[in-house]
Structures are given as structure tokens and as C-alpha cells.
Amino acid sequence: MADTTAEGAPADKHPPTSMRTVIVASSAGTAFEWYDFFVFASLAEPISKTFFSGLNDTAAYIAALALFGTGFLFRPVGALIFGRIGDKMGRKGAFLATVLMMGGATFAIALIPSYAQAQQWFGAGIVAPLLLVLMRILQGIALGGEYGGAAIYVAEHSASTKRGWSTSWVQTSAAFGLFGALGVIYVTTKLLGVDAFGAWGWRIPFAFSIFLLGISVFMRLKLSESPEFAKLKAEGGQSKAPYAEAFGKWSNLKLVLLAFFALMSAQGAVWYTAFFYVQTFLLKFLKVDQLTINGLMMAATAVSAVGYVVFGWLSDRVGRKWVMLAGMTLALVFFFPGFHLLERYANPALAEATERTPVTVTADPADCALQFDPVGKAAFLSSCDIAKSTLANAGISYANKAGPKGAQAVVEVGSTQVAVAPAKGLDKAATKAAKAKGEGAVKAALKAAGYPAKADPARINFWGMLGVLVVFVIAATALFGPLAASLVELFPTRVRYTALSLPYHIGTGWVGGFVPFTAFAIVAATGNIYAGLWYPFAFTLISVVTTLFLYPETNGRPLDK
């Protein structure tokens, strides 16, 4: 990384910022913010047990994944808030504020009482998840303003012939943030043990963020304003109404729509499937232990850190469009084969049992509910709900068959049939006993048929699993590596922060952030552990078609427009 001074910066009260400092400070600060965000996703399991203890296991895990998605839901709000600030007042101040908001909210999560503690202290357990929701909203708003500012800041300092390579370091920050999150979780778990970590040790990675916050603020205070914005401001050319100009003028609005459908639909779907839904799939459906998953994801993330830079550099030579199109196309064709291979490599006994002894649930459709209740007030105690939640928690694929109206659900495991009694209308002790009886009968039938309770470590093919993840990593990094440079080149300077940030965070926030939650919910409803993949597949297909026929090549475009 050459230590050259950014060219074209007008004289101001700050000394010129070297390109090395620009890249390091922007990328490191963004990495720390990604760390804060990814810690939550990686700890969905203990969070679900701590803050959603009023729900059954399936609903609690879905609620935790939905809460992860809530942070993404508010990212476009942050994009609009900080995009306006960045386009009117400057890039530097906007993304300095975002890191303060993110760090503070993440540290606060470490201090929130559990559902049980809130029930004891305040007489209302719901206080705990509500506080958690508030912190996730603040995290989402902060990250919504962060990425656009960092990508634009680096691009506006960079020479046009090196813009893909320079901005790829901002993309790599996501890998460093995820790697750091997984690393801290892994070390903490090893030091404390699985039980202590699940009980209280999961709070340590959140508390650790306060040190990263201090480093981020120190580094970003050393930066000066970007040369393109400083020049625009000196000429009095900055936008006075970024929203109206970015979204009210068709020439800019059509670029916003193009960015979303061509790039961001696939970016959200591919990246979050490769780095997050795959963790849900391995943990909840294939029953691989968390430490093995963390090791796999750390190895895959280390590979991705190189991939972003390589593909960013490549896009400077051959163009952005074709590199990104190759990445999203690879993901599209590999989604279903890749996840089938993961089952073969991670839990071959499960794959063998599924082929040998298929499972069917016969139930009255009216007796089956969508098992999701984030406030913990609903009880899923029907015959169908108990049967399906037991199978979902066991990671078992099953076929659905409509049964007679009012009849109890019957789980067929090969030739064995298990009728599951409802647990409605009973006192607390009787409800618990009835539910446990039904779950126990289904589990006993599965065990007798050779279905494993968890993946056998002796049969796990670690390198095969890693090979599958590396293919997904190549697809994700080929798409994401050149993406920042292409988006910056697509939009005019006057509204670049606002116009770029909104489609980016709708794609990554609304499409990508809800991949784990939506896909898991689809699986729980259909009984097919691969059905959730249709969600990322559909969004990726939209981008492949749109990019191929409509998206322009942006490599080398001047930014002073």
C-alpha cells in the first residue's frame, strides 16, 4: 500500500491525508463496526435463551434471528440520516458519528438484564427484549451511515486506475470484523467453557467493543475531509436538498433503482447466505457443534479477506461488471448443490437416515400455526405444533400430509407411527408433561430409525465442508470486492452519500439481513431443510438478469461530476 498523498485536495486547515492513512483509518473503523454487528449474529443461540426464554426453542431461535434482522431493517434509516449529513456537511463528520453510536449500543447490550432478571427486578420480563430491540435499532442506524461514508471517502481520495483496489480494503473490513467477532467468541468459549459462556460469558464479546470504539475514534480524528467534497464545498456546489435531488430527479432515481436490482439484491442474498445462513444451517439442521462452526467460519473468512482485494484489483484491469456478474452467477448455480454437499460432509448419518427412512407429518392444516411470537405471549401447544417443532429442532426434513379435521398429528418415521397428543387447556405441570411426552415419543422413533441427535465428530469431513464454504466465499468476494468502487462511480458527487447508501442498505439490510430469519422460518413451515434457499436464489437471479442486460461498466469514470 503506497504511502502517497491524496491528490487534488484543496488547501484547508487540515494537513493532506496520506492514502495509507485514508485506507487504514477508514477500513479499520469499519471493521470495528462490523465486529459489533456480527457479534450479535454469531451469538443468536445464547441470546435466544437469555432474552426469549418465554418461547419454545424453535420460536426463540427464530425471534433471535428476526432481531438480528431488525438491525438491518433500520439500516436504510441510518443511510438517509447520515447520507444527508455527509452530502451537506462532509464525509468525515458523518462516519465519525456512526462509530460512536455503534460502539455505545454494542457495549450496552453486555449490560442488559436477561428475561428472568427483568421479570424479577421490574415485574416484566418483556423489558429485556425491548431494551435489546432498542440497541439493535441504534446499531442498524449507525451501520446504515457507516459503509457509504467509508467507501466514498476512500474512493474520493484514490486515483481512478486504483479505485477498485483501494476500496476493496473497505470491503475487506467486513471480513476482519467477522473474523474478530468469531475469534473473540472462540477464545472466550475455550477459556470459560461452553456452559459458562452460554450462561453469562456471551456478554464479554459485547463488552470488548468499548476498547475497539476507543481505537476507532482515535484513528478517525486524524482524518481530513475528502478532496472531492472539499472541492465541491469550496465552490459552493454541495447539495442543499439531498433527498429531493437523489430521489426526486429521475436521472438520479433510476441509478438508485439500478443499483438495487442489479447489484444489491444479489449482494444481500449471496453474502449473508455465505457467511450467516450457513451457520444457522450447520447448527440447527445438521447439528454441528458451535466450536467447529466457528473454526470453519474463521478459516473461510480469512480466505475472503484476500478475495476482496484480489477481485477489487482485478476489476481495475478487466472492469467491474463482469467480475461482479461472475460472482453472483457462481452463487446462483451453487446454492442447492453446495448445501446438499454440506449435509453429506457435516452429518452423513443424517443424510443416510433421511434417504433410508423418510418422515411424514399428517395433521389437520388448521391445527398448524406459524411458530413465531417475539413477545413470548403465545403457546404453541397443538398436536401439529408440537410434532413439527420437535422435528425442526432435530433438523429433520419431513413431508406434510393433510389429515382429517380435528385429528391428532401423526409422525410417520418409516413404518413407525407416533400420534402426538395436544397440550392445550392443562395446568402448567400437566402441559409441560404432555409436551415432553409427545416430544419424547417422536425422538425415540427417530433414534430407533437411525437419525442422529447430533453430528458425529468422527465422521465430519472438515476439509470438504471448508471446500464448499470457499466456493461460496469466492462468489461473495467476486461480487463484493469491486462493488464499492462501482457504486461510487455510478452516482454524482452532490448526492453520492445519500443515493449510494439507500440502495446498498436496502439490499444488505432488508434482503441480506433477513436471509437467516426468512430461510429458517420457511424450513420450519415446509419441513424441507433446503427450502429456505429459494429466498436467496430468487434475489440473486433478479440481479444476474438485471446486471447482464442493464448495468453499465463504470471502471475509470471520473468522480468530479
Is the separation of the CB atoms in 166 and 7 below 8 Å? no
Residue appearing with cell numbers 411458530: 371
CA distance 2 to 132: 43
* 372-379 average pLDDT score: 48
Q: What is the pLDDT of residues 3-28, one digit of tens each?
A: 444 444 333 444 455 677 777 777 77
Name the least confident of 13-27, 442-456, 540-554: 13-27
- Please report which confidence band the pLDDT of residue 306 belongs to, taking 50, 70 and 90 as the band edges: very high
173 pLDDT more than 90:
no
325 pLDDT more than 90:
yes
pLDDT greater at residue 129 or residue 360:
360
CA distance 277 to 93: 34
CA distance 25 to 120: 44
What local confidence, expressed as pLDDT, does residue 481 receive? Answer: 92
The DSSP call for residue 216 is H
CA angle, 529 then 333 then 40, to 5°: 50
pLDDT greater at residue 18 or residue 294:
294
* 131-149 average pLDDT score: 82
135 pLDDT more than 60:
yes
pLDDT greater at residue 503 or residue 393:
503
What local confidence, expressed as pLDDT, does residue 86 receive? Answer: 72
Name the least confident of 63-77, 166-180, 316-330: 63-77
Q: Identify the helix (H) or strand (E) that includes residue 354.
A: helix 348-356
92 pLDDT more than 50:
yes
User: Amino acid identity of 251?
Assistant: S
Beta-strand pair 409-413/416-420: antiparallel
CA distance 181 to 188: 11
Give the cell for residue 151. Answer: 467507501
Name the burial class of residue 262, with classes exposed (0-12), middle (13-18) and buried (19+) by CB atoms within 10 angstroms of its CB.
Answer: buried
CA distance 26 to 454: 42
pLDDT greater at residue 512 or residue 445:
445
pLDDT greater at residue 555 or residue 32:
555
Q: Give percent of the chain with pLDDT exceeding 70.
A: 86
What local confidence, expressed as pLDDT, does residue 301 receive? Answer: 87
Residue appearing with cell numbers 409422525: 411
pLDDT greater at residue 212 or residue 86:
212
Beta-strand pair 416-420/399-402: unpaired
CA angle, 442 then 443 then 449, to 5°: 95
Other C-beta atoms closer than 10 Å to the C-beta of 541 total 16
Instruction: Give counts: helices (H), strands (E), the chain.
Output: 26, 4
What local confidence, expressed as pLDDT, does residue 391 receive? Answer: 87
Q: Among the residues of 115-202, which ranges form H helices? A: 115-122, 127-155, 163-192, 194-196
248 pLDDT more than 50:
yes
CA distance 337 to 325: 20
> Which domains are assigned to the chain?
19-347+457-550 (1.20.1250.20), 351-448 (3.40.30)
* 73-90 average pLDDT score: 78
Give the cell for residue 86. Answer: 455527509
Name the least confident of 59-73, 212-226, 344-358, 502-516: 59-73
What local confidence, expressed as pLDDT, does residue 61 receive? Answer: 62
- Return the C-alpha torsion angle 314, 320, 322, 328, nearest 10: 100
Q: What's the chain's average pLDDT? A: 83
Name the least confident of 116-125, 221-230, 275-284, 467-476: 221-230
What local confidence, expressed as pLDDT, does residue 227 receive? Answer: 67
What local confidence, expressed as pLDDT, does residue 375 receive? Answer: 39
CA distance 139 to 102: 5
What local confidence, expressed as pLDDT, does residue 136 receive? Answer: 83
The DSSP call for residue 400 is E
Is the separation of the CB atoms in 286 and 350 below 8 Å? yes
What local confidence, expressed as pLDDT, does residue 97 receive? Answer: 81
Q: What is the pLDDT of residues 39-56, one digit of tens each?
A: 876 787 788 778 776 655
CA distance 57 to 453: 16
Is the separation of the CB atoms in 483 and 311 below 8 Å? no
Q: 281: closest CA among 436, 168, 397? A: 397
pLDDT greater at residue 536 or residue 295:
536
- Please report which confidence band the pLDDT of residue 501 belongs to, taking 50, 70 and 90 as the band edges: confident
DSSP helix/strand/coil, 416:
strand
In degrees and rounded to multiples of 5, residue 259 shows phi and psi of -60, -40
* 450-466 average pLDDT score: 93
Give the cell for residue 312. Answer: 477489487
* 258-280 average pLDDT score: 92
Count Cα atoms within 13 angstroms, Cβ side, for 1. Answer: 16
* 85-106 average pLDDT score: 77
CA distance 100 to 237: 29
